[in-house]
Amino acid sequence: MTDFSGKAALVTGGTRGIGFGIAQEIVARGGSVCITARKPEELDEAVKTLDPDGAGRAIAARGSADDEEHQQAAIDEAVATFGRLDFLVNNAAVNPYYGPTIDAELRAVRKIIEVNVVSALSWTQKAWQAWMRDNGGAVVNIASVGGLRAGGPLGTYGMSKAALIYLTKQLSREMAPKVRVNAIAPAVVKTKFARALYEHNEEAVANAYPMKRLGTPDDTAKLTAFLLSDDASWITGETVVIDGGGS
């Protein structure tokens, strides 16, 4: 297990599911973390779980992922509290539409693109300006297998994740050599966000994967931690699929 002692991270959408799992993994490896989300009660509970002794290893910043004032305030708070910002995990995402893309309400499409793509760019710009440009670091974007193949009722969400995968490759070129930028593309992970994809018949969904189970936040957390770590020091611009052998 790579030691993250002395390192600091910011994880958007970090109070549950994949984001919270990543925050837990960073803290378990000795790092510090700032998590963001909209609901104060969820942030308070998550911080207590991440830092039960109140040692200052976890802090929270409340706001909407696509609010630029919130983004800047969260970045500033993380740097002020920890004295650095080594890692950024762009995990926050929305999916207010389920159905054929041809019938999608454009207001919903714009919201999906704004949160899932534009906000990831904005968070990365601010982390770059505040710390990474001069000191280096690593970014991991949480994409999806839906961004790699078309079809099904999540096409609009998949479109946003395809754009995020492209953004990962583009930023990896622009931010090198000091900063590495990678992404992970999970299939169905057992989280509240994804429950509509499996709760109707979890066993059947799981059996579609060669590994015969759904992903867990722990699976995605360990992969993300590897990509953030120095063990992945010659990996950038990649999107790593984690799907139980389903691709």
For residues 200 and 115, what is the distance between their CA atoms, to the nearest angstrom?
A: 27
Active-site residue, 157 included: yes
Q: Which of 157, 166, 198, 209 is catalytic?
A: 157
Start-to-end CA span in the chain (Å) = 28
Q: Which long-range contacts (CB under 8 A, 24 or more apart) does 30-33 make?
A: 30/3, 30/4, 30/5, 30/6, 31/4, 31/5, 31/6, 31/7, 31/57, 31/86, 31/87, 32/7, 32/8, 32/56, 32/57, 32/58, 32/81, 32/82, 33/8, 33/9, 33/57, 33/58, 33/59
Instruction: List active site positions.
Output: 157
